[in-house]
Amino acid sequence: MRARLILENGTVFHGRAFGYLKETVGEVVFNTGMTGYQEVLTDPSYYGQIVTMTYPLIGNYGINLDDMQSKGAKVRGFIVREKCDDPSNWRCEFELDTYLKENRILGLEDIDTRALTKIIRNYGTMKGIITLRDLTDSQIKLQLDGFNNNSAVKEVTTKEVQVEDGDGLHIAMMDFGIKQNIIDSFKSRGCKLTIFPADAKAEEVLAVEPDGVFLSNGPGDPKDIPGSIEEIKKIVGKKPITGICLGHQLLALALGGNTEKLKFGHRGANHPVKDMKTGKIMITSQNHGYVVTDEGLPKDVSVTHINMNDNTIEGMRHNKYKIYSIQFHPEACPGPYDTDGIFDEFIDTMNDQGGKLDA
C-alpha cells in the first residue's frame, strides 16, 4: 500500500507502508546504527518518535524475544530504505513486518532515507505524519499542532514498585523509561534492585535504605518533569547518586545546571567519547535529543567525558558529593561494549555509605 511521510516543513516522501496500517504522527529522528533495530524499537527513550534507520537494509536477522528492551515497541513509526522479508539468523523468531503489526506500529519503506537524514541534519528534528490517505493542509496542521511528547515519561515508567533480588549492593532505581539491559547489567554484578515509578517521592526512595540511587534513561525533555527534579534535590548529599542519559540530565538540573535541545540529537552506536581522566576514546551507543550545557554547570561539578563530534558534555562527577552520571549508554545493547566498565564505576561510587565524599 502506498504511503507518504509529510514533514513539518512541507517536504513529502512517497513510499510503501508495512506493519500496522494506521496513520501516525511523531517527532522524526534518525539512528545511524547498522544493527540493533530491535533494541531501537523497544527502547522507551524513543517514545513519541518516528525513527529513521540510516542503514539501507533493516530486518535481515529478524526479531527474537530475548533482546527486547521493554514490553513492546515504543516508537510511533519506523522508516527504512528497504525491509528484509526473509531474515536469516538462528535466533530469529519472526520477521520485522509481523512484529510491527503485532505492536500496532506503522512502517514506511522505499523512500530515500539519505535525503531524509540530510534534511533533519540541516534543519533539525521536526514533527511528521506517515499517512495512507490524502490530507488537506488544514488536516496536516491540525495533526502536527496537536502532537506533543510532554507526558512521555509518564507513559513508559513502571506503575508500581518492583524488586529484583540480589546479594550485592542495594540500588534504588528511579524509572523514567529504563532499558532492560541496564537492569541486567546491575543484576549481573549481584545488585539488589528496587525500581520506583518516576513520580516517587524522595522519602519513599530513601525509606528502603539503599546503598545508592540510580536515575534511569527515558524519553523527552528533562524539564517536562520538574517534580522529579525537586525529589532528586532532596536525595543529593544523603545517598550516592548515579545516572544515565535522561537521568544524567535530571541530575544536572537538580544541581543547578541547565540543559538544551540538540539540533538533531545523538542516536546510534558509533559516537566517539573521550574520557577526560585517561584520555581514552571510546565508541559509544547513544540516544538523546537534549544535553547538559557548559553554561551554569555548578563549580563543584567536573566534566568527566566529552563527545568528540561536537564537544558536548557526556559525563560529570561532583567534587563534594558521591554523584557520577553519563549521557551515553554503557549497557549498549546491542553494542559496542567499550564502556561496560562504567557500571563498575557506578558501583564503586555507591560502595561506601553516605552521600558525601570523605574529606
Q: What residues are designated binding site?
A: 45, 218, 220, 246, 249, 287, 289-290
329 among known catalytic residues = yes
245 among known catalytic residues = yes
Nearest-angstrom CA–CA distance, 193 and 166: 7
Residue ranges for the known binding site for L-glutamine are 45, 218, 220, 246, 249, 287, 289-290
Catalytic residue (one of 248, 266, 288, 329):
329
Q: Name which of 150, 144, 102, 104 is nearest 127 in CA terms.
A: 144
Q: Name which of 249, 172, 263 is nearest 217 in CA terms.
A: 249
CB 153 within 8 A of CB 225: yes
Taking the CA atoms of residue 169, residue 170, residue 174 and residue 177 in that order, the dihedral angle to the nearest 10 degrees is 60
Distance of CA 47 to the CA centre of its chain: 9
CB 240 within 8 A of CB 347: no
Q: Take residue 177 and report the three cell numbers written for it.
A: 523509561
CB 35 within 8 A of CB 269: yes
250: left (phi over 0), alpha (psi -120 to 50) or beta: alpha
Catalytic residue (one of 109, 231, 314, 331):
331
Catalytic residue (one of 191, 245, 266, 288):
245
Residue 257: enclosing H or E segment and its boundaries? none
Q: Would you please indicate which residues are annotated as catalytic (active-site) residues?
A: 245, 329, 331
